[in-house]
Structure 1
Amino acid sequence: MAPRANWKGFLRLSLVTCPVALYPATSESEKISFNQLNRQTGHRIKYLKVDADTGDEVPNEDIVKGYELEKGQYIEVSKEELEEIALESTRTIEIDEFVDRSDIDPRYLIRPYYLRPDGKVGHDAFAVIRETIRELDKVAIGRVVLTNREHIIALEPLDKGLMGTLLRYPYEVRDAQEYFDEIENVKVTKDMLDLARHIVDQKSGSFEPDKFEDQYETALVDLINQKRAGKPITPKERPRGENVVDLMDALRKSVGGAAAETKAPKKGAKKPRKAGAGQKEMLMPIAGKKPAKEAAAKKPTAGARRKSA
């Protein structure tokens, strides 16, 4: 079952319009997450919205938005005033132009969404817009309002639907020269480049996301399972970095190392799990754990329930 749409409205190319729904193309919900607890009681921490001066809790209906002009001086803006300046793109993604995919600087990319027809009507118009973009081999640029903010969105065909990628505005992208100006101008010799290219050739392949494993997430799962089973936690020895004294020697050794990795895969290497399989599925029950009904009949005390983090 598809998740609930983040946005519903219309996709329009000139006079061709169709109802569409926008869905997040990625998810963070499968990752391990933690709650904050009171170390003394084991109870979960709760955050309250309080007045910064009086310390009193403020109900949601009394909270308004404010822009800080100076320290402690604000201009209040009401919900109704924000709705008055709402743009047409609140309900419509208007395609403004078509550009080459290579024209979009990767720094402007934010996050991807799936776009599909909403309901049983408008599939023909959606197909016309999708196939027009595909035939031109371009990216359609439009605007969409999400969480009261207007975003630039880049649309391109993906299977039977469209993928929409939110883009940043120029003022959100920092100037690279502020960070790169102090990098020294180093002349790289042909021998060094030849060795480096040889390493790249040995490691070249096609991008297959299934080959990669989130090692930190896996380590979190192992840590939680060990603590659930009451096993001692022993810190692992961290690898030490070494300073490169002779760059040419390091490149030559790297060529040999890359060749060895290509010929013989590492022993005991974990087989990556299928895409979409959640890390939380690996949180296995402890061996000998009582059935749910039996455990519910005999609830432990609050002190016994809590384990130290």
Structure 2
Amino acid sequence: MARAIWTGVLTFGLVTVPVGLYTATEDHTVHFHQLERGTGDRVRYKKVNERTGKEVESDDIVKGYDIGDGEYVVVEPEELEEIAPGKSRVIDMAGFVDLDQVEPVFFERTYYVAPQNKEYLKVYELLRAALERSQKAGIATFTMRNKEYLTALRAQDEVLVLHTMHWADEVRDPRRELDLLPDRRTKVGGRELDTAQQLIDALSMDWNPDDFHDTSEERVQALVDAKREGRQIVSEAGPPEATNVIDLMEALQNSVERARSKDGGRPKQPAGELRRLPSRGDKNKGGKQGSKGAGDQKELEGLTKKELYELAADRDIAGRSKMNRDQLVKALKSETTAA
């Protein structure tokens, strides 16, 4: 089991629940050691005394605030803890905001939030369910490892997640940082905009993170294997040329046609329209449920995870809350076949 990297209490109003924070992501990047060219010897970093050149043990290192002219104010770790003993153990909700009001540029890292003991499960689930229903995020500050964070707390299926966020003065203003951005004089034609929207519609899909994986890691591994075996590896083609404004409309139209041909010409479901499959209560209606099974199974592939979960709940499929989208499809297909 994972270990909590922080423990404390989460408060909203006068309600308090002891929680722990757990790292939600992991890095699977291919890592290299640093070697000296020609010798192949490992290169390592050491913490050394700038004056003597001798290595210093971690326990003998303290923090120093530079006040100029080579002078420092030394601060011990326990002194930082003492100036905010309460804040280092409390995530206090200042308020709740609509999720779409928070620009993604503010998000930094993500943590899972879990109750510390079984006795707090109901209070925890109450907050999670309320956030899920309201589609809001709780905004709070808290201190971890002697650093204060701005955070957003939101609900996922079965779990609360906490995003650490950048402070307002840490987010750069694009108008100040970027030389070229569209302004009011940059016009796009109505026909071009309509065609671009058609392209977006033709390429629309359900979000399924399992459909994507890190191909750069595979390319690095292929390079390493090729060098080890004395083979040459073929370089991939570079990026395509930029689209000329004169050819923009043609490029858009060709893109729409290609996207539609890949989709087999099937019409897209209008956004927000729920496709309904027969529930348990429908099985005995019409007397021909068995003949519809194949069509139902094909339609399952086009449902979103939320729609699949609602259907699984309607059919009382056990373990549905822990299933991903593919597992929900498989379970529903098995249930339909068994019927």
TM-score, shorter chain, exceeding 0.5: yes
SS of match in other structure, 1:122:
helix
Number of the residue aligned with 1:8: 7
**TM-fit CA distance, 1:190:** 1.7
**TM-fit CA distance, 1:240:** 5.2
Number of the residue aligned with 1:166: 164
Matched, 1:251 2:285: no
Write the distance in 1 (CA, Å) between the matches of 2:117 and 2:136: 27
Conserved? CA contact 1:10–1:93, under 8 Å: yes
**TM-fit CA distance, 1:57:** 2.0
* Count of residue pairs the alignment pairs up: 262
Structure 1 75/192 Cα, relative in aligned 2: closer, same or farther at 3 Å? same
Structure 1 200/78 Cα, relative in aligned 2: closer, same or farther at 3 Å? same
Conserved? CA contact 1:155–1:164, under 8 Å: yes
Structure 1 242/87 Cα, relative in aligned 2: closer, same or farther at 3 Å? same
Matched, 1:91 2:92: no
SS of match in other structure, 1:142:
strand
Conserved? CA contact 1:130–1:162, under 8 Å: yes
Letter of the 1:259 counterpart: R
Conserved? CA contact 2:49–2:55, under 8 Å: yes
Q: Which moved more, 1:237-246 or 1:117-126?
A: 237-246
Number of the residue aligned with 1:209: 209
Write the distance in 1 (CA, Å) between the matches of 2:263 and 2:132: 38
Counterparts of 1:111-190 in structure 2, within 5 Å, are: 111-180=109-178, 182-184=180-182, 185-190=185-190
Write the distance in 2 (CA, Å) between the matches of 1:173 and 1:54: 40
Conserved? CA contact 1:18–1:122, under 8 Å: yes
Deviations 1:189-221 (A, max 9, x none): 122222222222221122222222322111112
Write the distance in 1 (CA, Å) between the matches of 2:170 and 2:102: 15
Number of the residue aligned with 1:193: 193
**TM-fit CA distance, 1:243:** 4.3
Deviations 1:245-274 (A, max 9, x none): 32233333333333344349xxxxxxxxxx
Q: Which moved more, 1:64-73 or 1:111-120?
A: 64-73
**TM-fit CA distance, 1:48:** 0.8
More helix by share: 2
SS of match in other structure, 1:115:
strand
Write the distance in 1 (CA, Å) between the matches of 2:88 and 2:103: 26
Structure 1 138/72 Cα, relative in aligned 2: closer, same or farther at 3 Å? same
Q: Which moved more, 1:116-125 or 1:160-169?
A: 116-125
Number of the residue aligned with 1:44: 42
Conserved? CA contact 1:143–1:150, under 8 Å: yes
Conserved? CA contact 1:20–1:115, under 8 Å: yes
Letter of the 2:253 counterpart: R
Write the distance in 1 (CA, Å) between the matches of 2:156 and 2:239: 44
What percentage of aligned pairs have identical amino acids?
35
Conserved? CA contact 1:19–1:121, under 8 Å: no
SS of match in other structure, 1:31:
coil
SS of match in other structure, 2:257:
helix
**TM-fit CA distance, 1:237:** 4.6
| Unmatched runs of 5 consecutive residues or more in structure 1 | 265-274, 276-309
**TM-fit CA distance, 1:165:** 1.2
Number of the residue aligned with 2:272: none
Structure 1 17/183 Cα, relative in aligned 2: closer, same or farther at 3 Å? closer
Q: Which of residues 54, 57, 67 in structure 1 aligns to 2:55?
A: 57
Matched, 1:262 2:279: no
Aligned CA RMSD, in angstroms, stands at: 2.5
Write the distance in 2 (CA, Å) between the matches of 1:215 and 1:104: 30
Structure 1 7/234 Cα, relative in aligned 2: closer, same or farther at 3 Å? same
Q: TM-score, normalised by structure 1?
A: 0.75
Write the distance in 2 (CA, Å) between the matches of 1:15 and 1:115: 19
Letter of the 1:125 counterpart: V
Letter of the 2:47 counterpart: K
Write the distance in 2 (CA, Å) between the matches of 1:244 and 1:13: 51
Structure with bigger RCO (C-alpha 8 Å, 6+ apart)? 1
Conserved? CA contact 2:226–2:233, under 8 Å: no
Conserved? CA contact 2:81–2:88, under 8 Å: no
| Unmatched runs of 5 consecutive residues or more in structure 2 | 266-323, 325-339
**TM-fit CA distance, 1:20:** 1.2
Letter of the 1:224 counterpart: V
Structure 1 139/48 Cα, relative in aligned 2: closer, same or farther at 3 Å? same
Q: TM-score, normalised by structure 2?
A: 0.69
**TM-fit CA distance, 1:22:** 0.8
Number of the residue aligned with 2:296: none
Letter of the 1:251 counterpart: L
Letter of the 1:10 counterpart: V
Number of the residue aligned with 2:16: 17
